[in-house]
Structure 1
Amino acid sequence: MPWIKLKLQIDEPQAQAFADAFEEWGAIAVTMEDAGDEPLFDSYWEKPPLWSRVRIVGLFPEHADTNEILERLSERFSLAQPPPHEIDLLGDEDWAHSWMAHYKPLQVGRNLWIVPSWCAPPEPAAVNIILDPGLAFGTGDHPTTSLCLEWLAEQALAGKTLLDYGCGSGILSITALKLGATAAFAVDIDPQALQVTQQNAAHNGIHSGLNVGLPSALPKNLRADFVIANILMGTLIDLAPDIVNRVRPGGMLALSGMLAGQETEVRAHYEPPFALTAHERRKWIMLTGRKPADLG
């Protein structure tokens, strides 16, 4: 399957907003690079780059309309014309070689690392999630995923069950299991995401406790201690009745994948029964809350 790589250059103050727009409009991977050959020292992974001129590189499915994307960028950011850009067509093998170089180990919390499968863990004694992103969303570096990971790392997961809506690479389900959860149900509508999730589970030595499949395959009576939905705002709203029902009484819910300003509409579909708390990172929002224990 061919892929379209769209590269453009922009000044640093707008770089993160452009990268977020790429993801919002269908990019399955986005990276930011130095466009001016400036050295970068000692930057934490969750912070924006320090270069004054940034190259945004987005990988889109072959059917993406790059002209439309460029027009939408010009409209959103009030540009007289699209910024300097290049468009390349990549095969799967070219994609793999092109993108592997951009991923590096990421620390989440004090004792949790997300480590690409081709890298050595920086702290072998820590909880290391060995990840092969493949062609599925979820590498840990995007704010929506990093917020979920940090939240998971703070929870008491031992002996608990997790339901992961929109599992992507499987990163959240695998993390929950390695942090002590007994079972994780990872669901996605993309068959390739399900395949990548199973591959990543194998890389992490997970041979039991992980259930991977389409949402329609979930047991009808399944209620989980923790439910995470890291998906787009519209899907969070469409699935709200089922997501609410899947959280057991006294269980925890995390909703991620919405931009600042979108959370009000999402809240309207989950409150009550939940009283949700907002967590923000780089204009992305995660909502978390506990289901009242007296609800049946």
Structure 2
Amino acid sequence: MSDTVYIEYRFTVKPKDPASDLLIAELGEVGFESFVEEEDDVLAYIQKTDWSKAILEDLPILENPRYKFTFDYKEIEQENWNATWEQNFQPIIVDDICMIRAPFHETINVDYDIVIEPKMSFGTGHHETTHMMLQHILQLDVKGKTVLDMGSGTGVLAILAGMRGATTIDAIDIDNWCYLNAKENVERNNMDFISVYEGDVALLEGKKYDLIIANINRNILLADLPSYAKSLNSGGTLLLSGFYTEDLGMITQKCTDLALKFEKNLERNNWVAAKYVN
């Protein structure tokens, strides 16, 4: 994968909040894989093989008169992206007990010290959805439980579940780079009992879990919820994120139709992470 070529877009967004979050969500829908937020700009990355010059033509956010966008783009090699990430990545502390850091950061005294190198994968803890899913996991008793991390990205959610005592964990992502990166991060954190797979919801056939975590976009969640419900053990918990406050009703209705009961949700800058039980 070292010779993978990416297209890097640099967007200048005014006003930046909440436009940058909306932009990132819509870019994710059309195939952009990773993002770096700077003070005034958003950097977005997509594999050249998935890119075309017309890729931004149907993004509603760019036509919204409330926001002003300017952008340019260029080709970038994977190793150059890694250097950009290292320059921008700062450690994250979640609820004062969980730290997400890179190998070159010093640790502090926390209960859960997670070391990742995300490369082109989503899930550093910076984004609201990952942060809230980490909070949900910190609030759950997962000791001895079977766990699925669907759309696992860096594998950070699966790793935290493992650190909190889950014994059987599957991490699945459809993207090859995420699959490879999660395998590296699982090994880096000595979580060799976490199984990492490349694929989609078809891999769930015949499997059962006590906890299913899915931090993906709204449309994929809606399509895959029947499979999650089928794979969730009686009394199990489903954590969903990757969608906005205004989408919560739609997601909850789908879960209700599948006999999953809404329990609570967290909100952060208009993003939601919801908990459902079987």
Q: TM-score range by the shorter chain?
A: 0.7 to 0.9
1:268 maps to which of 242, 247, 253:
253
More deviation in 159-168 or 271-280?
271-280
SS at match of 2:88: coil
CA deviations over 1:63-100 (Å, ceiling 9, x no partner): 43466527734312456xx6333322201111111222
CA 190–31 in structure 1, closer or farther in 2 if over 3 Å, else same: closer
Determine the C-alpha separation between the residues in 2 that align with 1:97 and 1:162. 33
CA deviations over 1:242-262 (Å, ceiling 9, x no partner): 101111111111111112222
1:228 shift after superposition? 0.8
Q: Does 2:45 correspond to 1:64? A: no
TM-score (norm 1): 0.82
CA deviations over 1:175-214 (Å, ceiling 9, x no partner): 1001111111111222222211110011101222x12213
- Which residue of structure 1 aligns with residue 184 of structure 2? 199
Contact residue 85 and residue 119 of structure 2 kept, 8 A:
no
1:75 counterpart letter in structure 2: E
Determine the C-alpha separation between the residues in 2 that align with 1:197 and 1:74. 32
Determine the C-alpha separation between the residues in 2 that align with 1:226 and 1:56. 33
1:113 shift after superposition? 0.7
Q: Based on CA coordinates, which of the two structures has the bigger radius of gyration?
A: 1
CA 105–70 in structure 1, closer or farther in 2 if over 3 Å, else same: farther
1:22 maps to which of 11, 21, 24:
24
1:112 shift after superposition? 0.7
1:4 counterpart letter in structure 2: I
Contact residue 99 and residue 110 of structure 2 kept, 8 A:
no
Query: Structure 1 vs Structure 2: percent identity of aligned residues?
Result: 23
1:24 shift after superposition? 2.5
SS at match of 1:197: helix
1:74 maps to which of 48, 55, 62:
62
Contact residue 114 and residue 160 of structure 2 kept, 8 A:
yes
2:19 counterpart letter in structure 1: A
Determine the C-alpha separation between the residues in 1 that align with 2:36 and 2:18. 10
1:218 shift after superposition? 4.0
- Which residue of structure 1 aligns with residue 104 of structure 2? 118
1:90 maps to which of 73, 76, 100:
76
Contact residue 23 and residue 30 of structure 1 kept, 8 A:
no
1:279 counterpart letter in structure 2: L
- Which residue of structure 2 aligns with residue 159 of structure 1? 144
Determine the C-alpha separation between the residues in 2 that align with 1:74 and 1:91. 27
Determine the C-alpha separation between the residues in 2 that align with 1:249 and 1:169. 29
Contact residue 204 and residue 231 of structure 2 kept, 8 A:
no
Instruction: Within 5 Å, give how 1:1-296 maps onto structure 2.
Output: 1-11=4-14, 13-26=15-28, 27-34=32-39, 54-62=40-48, 63-65=50-52, 68-69=55-56, 72=59, 73-78=61-66, 83-121=69-107, 123-208=108-193, 210-213=194-197, 214=199, 215-218=201-204, 220=206, 222-272=207-257, 273-276=259-262, 277-291=264-278
Gaps of 5+ in 2: none
Determine the C-alpha separation between the residues in 2 that align with 1:25 and 1:194. 21
Contact residue 100 and residue 125 of structure 2 kept, 8 A:
yes
Determine the C-alpha separation between the residues in 2 that align with 1:177 and 1:143. 21
1:9 shift after superposition? 2.3
1:24 counterpart letter in structure 2: E
Determine the C-alpha separation between the residues in 1 that align with 2:53 and 2:265. 34
Report the aligned-residue RMSD.
Answer: 2.1
Determine the C-alpha separation between the residues in 2 that align with 1:187 and 1:71. 29
Matched pairs, number:
266
2:93 counterpart letter in structure 1: Q
Determine the C-alpha separation between the residues in 1 that align with 2:35 and 2:120. 12
Determine the C-alpha separation between the residues in 2 that align with 1:28 and 1:91. 14
Gaps of 5+ in 1: 35-53, 292-296
